[in-house]
Chains A and B, each alone.
Chain A
Amino acid sequence: MTPGGIQRALALWCPDWSLLATRTEHGLDPDVALALMDKGRVVARSAAADVEGVTVGLRLREAQARCPGITLLPHDPLRDARAFEPVVRAVDEVIPGIDVRRPGLVAVHVAGAARYYGGEEVAARALADQVRGVAGLVDVRIGIADGIHAAELAAQTTTAAAPLRVVPAGASRAFLAAMPLDVLADLPGAGPELVTLLKRLGLTTLGDFAALPGSSVRARFGVPGMQAHDLARGREVAPVRAAAAPSDLTRHVVFEPGLERIDQVAFGCRTMAEEFIATLTTRQLVCSQVLVSVFTDDDTTTGRAHSDQVWTHPRHFSSTEVVDRIRWQLQGAASTALAAPTTRQGAVIRVEIAPLALDDAAAHAGGLWRDGPADRIHHTATRLQGRLGHDGVLTAAIGGGRLLAERTQLRPWGEAAPSATIRKADQPWPGSLPGLAPTLVYDEPVPVRLLDEVRSIVRIGSRGDLSGAPVWLDPGALDPTGGGPRRVTAWAGPWPIRQRWWDPSETRRVDRVQLVDDHDQAWLLLYEQLGTDDEEPWSAEGRYD
């Protein structure tokens, strides 16, 4: 404790943490010119990009112009925070009670550690040794001073060659006074505007600013200015809030040797899933979204997950439901491997589950007396899903679109319903079907033949003209009795549907015809000519059963 009532603080700073986290995740070389972009501007750049003249705040085009070979990636604060967690845990092992100021910067009270290690510098060196190497970290800077702000500034004045700076007790004010005003620019609340203003008033260092009377600063700059003034005078604005390090809720199971059968893997994952849910329960948490990663033995060299999938739950997962999701994911991977035989399906060697969405368990507690009807429906539907597979039980919605199969939107039970805006159901769809809708819709149009009087295929020209009036309909596979062509008694069309004519790869020209045959059966047919001599241009879209 120093005379001002400010505790000694240690700040551990990892320079360019966002860049390091991005490099680790994307497997980039440290020498690569890399810049992170946010809202079209550079927010961080690597040393190689700096040499080429890429600066923070530069626009995307300008950065590319200055350094043509630059790698531009979006800045992701969540990735930074995620990658920083191992570092936080490493710090917590040496000095407990940490305060993560932002990804890349941790503050701790140093008094206890200094007593234990016999000096602040010794404690700092022990900390640096512990942290270095965690998550690919090489450059660790530590500053110790009175108060977190001074410690942070002390850490930022260090160099890679001399990564430790200790400002002696009571000397922080003098240390701060010599700093240029620009250090206030990063402060929340103050910002660059305040710095520019102060400079125009003729102030150059924090000492000049601190010398101004507090009442005048408050009158001129308000609360943010007052906070900056307090910091410049060496007072503590936001003290270290000691907290426990976040624990790792991710669980994994390793199979040695690898397992090939899905039920074996599912059985092997059961204990892990139970422990995963039990850990959450002891922390009064429930999980409604998990990430399941399955690693197989054919990709151990790359170290990448063989299959990653996010599973959502309308309530929260129980351990059996987690195992179900793992099984479904393996089944899905097995079916795609069958479809594409070139990708070999290896034995599963590792399964990992990570919670993505956590919630307070109290908000999900069951009723005191009984479950309501909603719970009964949910439990039964989920149980049925466990037997029939994830897409065994579906719920449906009508979406936007012109073709009937497009308008039908089915999704597995428990997955969030897309909103009406995303479904585009409320928008006008020129070309959608008027009048009665068919009771049977074929997912994949079934080929049929529509013939004119002389039994040749009716064709539709580019201007929507029919080559002849439809007289005969051969339902082909759709006629269970195989009765051959039926006479058309009434028909209408063709109604053109022109989709995405502006995109050559996705454009689609379809014409629709409605007709009734002499069996009193009504049909909805689609005409789509894919080649000049397409022998089967007609298909059934739906049937009025």
Chain B
Amino acid sequence: MFERLFEHGGVTAALDLAPEPGASPVPDLAALRARIRRLEGAESPGDVIGFGVPEALRSAFPTGLRAGATYAATGSLTLALMLLAEACSQGAWSAVVGLPGLGLEVATRMGLDLDRTLFVPAPGDQWATAVAALAEIVPVVLARPVRLVPTEASRLTARLRERGCTLLLTEQPPSTWPAMQATLHASPAGWRGLGDGHGCLLQRRLAIQVSQRTGRTTRHHLEVS
């Protein structure tokens, strides 16, 4: 504790508060048991072992998003941002790679803490390097996928699994990538609040189709306001 005593500066002040990914501030007995089971590799169905998901998707991901796995959230940036914000709601750091022009305002309204988010807007040909480096320090990375050589892609997913870093992709990656843990596809299902010359957008609905790796497919409805 004492070696931190003399540190100062705007950046570092917020850092020490970050708990380990997936840990709740006051771990109760059930959560601790779940962690033990997770370490033993024997999860029971009710445990939230990864990152939380929005309420409407809870039935598709009863245990949350798995740490170290890769998910694709296609069709809507809103869905990807919601998943990211929900995953970081416990105070974890996050990173956004290759998405210039992301609406920061909507991200903060969804609960993303910008003070704990790193942005790499244009990694160029260093995409894999950037994601691998960020996987060392943040538990969730949101990225737009690029074409990777199969060996490079599998090396990256292995690195992510080892570090327990969840990767959220905004598009369906090219076929050279290993299979996703799950693919969430959002399609617009109506807007509310905007009339013919009056009003303003207040709420949107998304129809989400979740295709799990196991082949199971479920449909959900998400309301964003």
**Smallest Cβ distance from B77 to chain A, in angstroms?**
4
**Smallest Cβ distance from B151 to chain A, in angstroms?**
21
Contacts of A493 in B (CB 8 A): 197
Main secondary structure of the interface of B (DSSP, over half): mixed
Chain A CB within 8 A of B27 CB: no
Q: List 14 A-B contacts (CB under 8 A).
A: A364-B6, A373-B16, A383-B133, A393-B119, A395-B114, A396-B104, A396-B114, A397-B115, A410-B121, A417-B11, A436-B202, A437-B109, A520-B188, A520-B190
Q: Give the number of chain A interface residues (Cβ < 8 Å).
A: 62
B118 touches A545 (CB 8 A): no
**Smallest Cβ distance from B67 to chain A, in angstroms?**
16
Identify B120's interface contact among A372, A384, A433, A440, CB under 8 A.
Answer: A384
Contacts of B123 in A (CB 8 A): 388, 392
A438 touches B16 (CB 8 A): no
Contacts of B11 in A (CB 8 A): 314, 374, 378, 414, 417
A437 touches B93 (CB 8 A): no
Number of residue pairs across A and B with beta carbons under 8 Å? 176
Chain A CB within 8 A of B130 CB: yes
Q: Give the number of chain B interface residues (Cβ < 8 Å).
A: 62
Name which residue of chain B comes closest to A379, CB basis. Answer: B137
Chain B CB within 8 A of A377 CB: yes
| A interface list, Cβ under 8 A from B | 314-315, 362-369, 372-374, 376-378, 380-381, 383-384, 387-388, 392-398, 404, 407-408, 410, 413-414, 416-417, 433-443, 469, 490-493, 514-516, 520-522, 542, 544-545
Contacts of B198 in A (CB 8 A): 492
A438 vs B115: C-alpha distance when bound (angstroms): 20
A434 vs B6: C-alpha distance when bound (angstroms): 43
Name which residue of chain B comes closest to A374, CB basis. Answer: B15
A388 vs B6: C-alpha distance when bound (angstroms): 31
Contacts of B117 in A (CB 8 A): 395-396
**Smallest Cβ distance from B225 to chain A, in angstroms?**
7
A491 vs B224: C-alpha distance when bound (angstroms): 19
Contacts of B16 in A (CB 8 A): 372-374
Q: Mark B164-202, 1 if CB is under 8 A from A, else 0.
A: 000000000000000000000000111101111111111
Contacts of A384 in B (CB 8 A): 120, 130, 133-134
Q: Mark B1-32, 1 if CB is under 8 A from A, else 0.
A: 00110111111100110100000000000000
In the complex, the 4 A-B pairs of residues with the closest C-beta atoms, listed nearest first: A374-B15, A367-B3, A520-B188, A437-B105
